[in-house]
Amino acid sequence: MDEHLILDTAGAATPALRALATEILQAEATHLGVSLDAADVLLRRAEGVPAPHLTAAAGQLLERLAAIEGTTLPDQGILAVLARAGAQLLVSGIELDRANDVA
């Protein structure tokens, strides 16, 4: 599946999902002692450093989505599927967006 389709669909159609993912990312970064400052994010990305806070945040996002599975309207099902498939991409994109907004 095309990652841009996942991100565009999740971000545009469900802004609350992006807000939730941002909240979880910030909490996981704090919990693991990882800085979300723009320079630190860009340095980690440039060095290819593994990002356990992204994996943890994506996992929590998936758990929250699973908890509401079946509670959404039938026509929103595809959005949930796209969001679940792209959880780590969504969280990763949010981290980069934060870095780009500050830089």
Residue 36: per-residue pLDDT: 93
Distance of CA 18 to the CA centre of its chain: 7
Using an 8 Å Cβ cutoff, are 29 and 102 in contact? Answer: no
What value, to the nearest 5°, has the Cα angle with vertex 87 and ends 11 and 58? Answer: 125
Q: Which residues, in sequence order, are CB contacts of 57 under 8 Å at separation 6+? A: 21, 24, 25, 27, 28, 29, 91
Residue with tokens 């929250």: 64
Residue 26: per-residue pLDDT: 95
Q: What is the pLDDT along the chain (103 residues), one digit of tens a residue?
A: 566 666 666 666 677 788 888 999 999 999 999 999 999 999 999 999 888 999 999 999 888 877 776 666 555 666 666 677 788 888 888 898 877 776 5
